[in-house]
Amino acid sequence: MKLLMHTCCAPCSVYCIDSLRKEKIEPTLYWYNPNIHPYTEYKARRDCLKDYSMQMNVNAIFEEDYGLDEFCKNVISNLENRCSNYCYRVRLEQTAKYAKEHGYDTITTTLFVSPYQKHDELKQIIEEIASKYNLNFLYRDFRVGFREGQAKARQIGLYMQKYCGCIFSEEERYRKQIDKEKIKIDEY
């Protein structure tokens, strides 16, 4: 098996890499995340993954595409479903294209480690894309190791992001605080 693993960030890759290596599967990491905004966040996550991949001696490919304009054009009409309609699809489609063009026969993603992702929708999407490109899909429910991976990531000092990636998920992160402040202003 020649596995290309779409990788959203270093902390999410920790458990995935460790568990796959226990199975004697050596992944190649694939960074393609035009959904991460703003650019300072994109750069922090990318650079952390570069450092971690070297530290772990794992092959990593970095496809640069900071795509704020394209992201906004594709999600603005349906923000509620942006993950399934665009974010998952654009990243996994590009992963599959790269895999097919460069001799990989199997794909997966570190997104399967997060309990915050739409797991079943993600699985369906990657199955469709793998089939379209005549690739195998290696499914692992990495969520069982989420806390373990996060703890190890903190222990070794990896950059720990505070939201999923897009600017709208950052707003969701602050939603309670924004609402509280709005109430205070309205009461004033």
User: What pLDDT digit, counting tens, does each position of 30-81 carry?
Assistant: 999 999 999 999 999 999 999 999 999 999 999 999 989 999 899 989 888 8
User: Does residue 181 have a pLDDT over 80?
Assistant: no
As a whole-number percent, the residues of the chain with pLDDT over 70 amount to 94
13 has pLDDT over 90: yes
pTM attached to this predicted model: 0.91
Q: Report the distance separating Cα 93 and Cα 90, nearest Å.
A: 5
Question: What is residue 121's predicted lDDT score, i.e. its pLDDT?
Answer: 96
Beta strands (DSSP E) in 115-179 are: 136-137
Q: What is the DSSP letter of 62?
A: E
- Tokens 């000092």 found at: 157
Whole-angstrom distance, CA of residue 33 vs CA of residue 113: 16
As a residue count, the chain comes to 188
Report residue 6 as tokens: 């779409």
Q: Would the pLDDT of 170 be above 90?
A: no
The C-alpha torsion from 156 through 57 and 45 to 9, rounded to 10°, is -90
Structural contact between residues 135 and 154, judged by C-beta atoms closer than 8 angstroms: no
Q: Check whether 184 has a pLDDT greater than 80.
A: no
- Residue among 96, 86, 84 nearest 30 (CA): 96
Beta-carbon-side half-sphere exposure of residue 99 (alpha carbons within 13 Å): 33
Q: Look at residue 178 and tell me whether its pLDDT is greater than 70.
A: no
CA 75 centroid distance within chain = 17
The residues, ordered by sequence, that sit 6+ positions from 53 with a Cβ below 8 Å of its Cβ are 10, 29, 59, 60
pLDDT in tens, 86-131: 999 999 999 999 999 999 999 999 999 999 999 999 999 999 999 9
